[in-house]
Structure 1
Amino acid sequence: MTIDLLIGAADNTVPITIQQRSSLAPADAFRLIMPIDLPTVFHRVAPFPGVRSVLNQTESWDHPGPTRNPQFDDGSQADEQLTECVEGVSFAYQLTGFTNVLSRLAAGVRGEWNFNPDGNGTLIRWTYEFKPLPGRRWIIAGPFAPLWRRYMVAALDRMVQWSEAAAQRPVA
């Protein structure tokens, strides 16, 4: 399967990167976070909506190719495709087809997660790389970026808390 990638080397993108440590080993953090239920961790952080549900997932979210449609609690949605997956190490996806204000700012976004050894735990690094529409880069790099970073920090914090708690639960 060939995946048409949104972002190439010549694109002038706006990356926003955050990181957080987890007590879990990289393989465990990856195993729990990669397929996480989006509505569990993506809550509204004004001015951005939370994820209400996910529709139309075409297949298992564990290899390049599957697609799905996150549904936001403001009634908007996006198209998402998993583009890369290195088991236990990293995964990447792209979001396009936004039906909210992002449709007027960016052609799409590339998300990338890396799970790096950090002592007995993991340093989780998450990047959202925006591909701005012509003339909109200054908005994304300027007033938009700190608001989006705050949204990402809240979501990553919930993911780490959820995954560490899930790792402690007995397997049924």
Structure 2
Amino acid sequence: MTRMPLISLDDHTVPVTVQNRTHLSPEDAFRIIVPIDLSLVFKGWGLFPGVRGVKNQTGAWDAAGQSRNPDLTDGSTAFERLTEYTAPHSFAYEITGFTNVLRRLVSGVRGEWTFTPDAEGTLIRWTYEFKPLPRRRWILHRIVTPLWRRYMRHGIDDARRAAERIALGR
């Protein structure tokens, strides 16, 4: 059975993108960040919870179709499914089934991380694309995404720092 993607060409989504650079190669950055312990990266910021860990993970998070439930610090959860895995360039995932306030705003989210060669290192880019529920796009655009962008900046910075520490064996 072929699963339809969460977001199609006709959807009017609300995307947010952040980026950061590392001295690591794209191969090393990808190899470390894709399966990273989410609690090292998503510690919470402002109104947004951190991630304690994951439950019910299928596989090693290295192939499209694998899934897991992020366990958030506010007691909520969601369903995350890996939709693309193109080592060492990019991976993408969809998150649905939010049990926190996002359930009232979005039907889901598509996330994508890319790892592009950049001089002697890598440009890491993270996009989070919200699929709003009817009549919720303006709330996401005006209120949620400016705050979410700051949360993402913290997350991508923490991912880079953790990857660099792991690469050094610390």
Measured against the shorter chain, the TM-score band is over 0.9
Amino acid at match of 1:18: V
Aligned-partner Cα distance in 2 for 1:169–1:56: 28
Aligned-pair CA distance for 1:3: 3.5
Amino acid at match of 2:166: A
Residue 105 of structure 2 corresponds to which residue in structure 1?
105
1:138 equivalenced with 2:106 (yes/no)? no
Cα deviation, 1:86-128, whole Å, max 9, x if unaligned, reads: 0100000000000000000000000001000100100001000
Aligned-pair CA distance for 1:4: 2.9
Residue 168 of structure 1 corresponds to which residue in structure 2?
168
Amino acid at match of 2:22: S
Amino acid at match of 2:136: R
Number of residue-to-residue matches in the alignment: 170
Amino acid at match of 1:139: I
Q: Is the 8 A contact 1:64 1:85 kept in 2?
A: yes
Q: Provide the TM-score with structure 2 as the length reference.
A: 0.97
Cα deviation, 1:23-79, whole Å, max 9, x if unaligned, reads: 101111000000011111110101000011200001120010001000111110000
Residue 69 of structure 2 corresponds to which residue in structure 1?
69
3-state SS of 1:21 partner: strand
Aligned-partner Cα distance in 1 for 2:3–2:160: 30
Amino acid at match of 2:62: D
Amino acid at match of 1:63: A
Residue 154 of structure 1 corresponds to which residue in structure 2?
154
1:15 equivalenced with 2:15 (yes/no)? yes
Cα deviation, 1:142-164, whole Å, max 9, x if unaligned, reads: 11111101111001101100101
Aligned-partner Cα distance in 2 for 1:99–1:131: 16
Equivalent residues in 2 for 1:81-92, closer than 5 Å: 81-92=81-92
1:28 equivalenced with 2:28 (yes/no)? yes
Residue 117 of structure 1 corresponds to which residue in structure 2?
117
RMSD of Structure 2 on Structure 1 (CA): 1.1
Q: Provide the TM-score with structure 1 as the length reference.
A: 0.96
Gaps spanning 5+ residues in structure 2: where?
A: none
Aligned-pair CA distance for 1:5: 1.1
Aligned-partner Cα distance in 2 for 1:94–1:124: 19
Aligned-partner Cα distance in 1 for 2:103–2:91: 24
3-state SS of 1:115 partner: strand
Identity value in percent = 57
Residue 49 of structure 1 corresponds to which residue in structure 2?
49
1:2 equivalenced with 2:2 (yes/no)? yes
Amino acid at match of 2:145: A
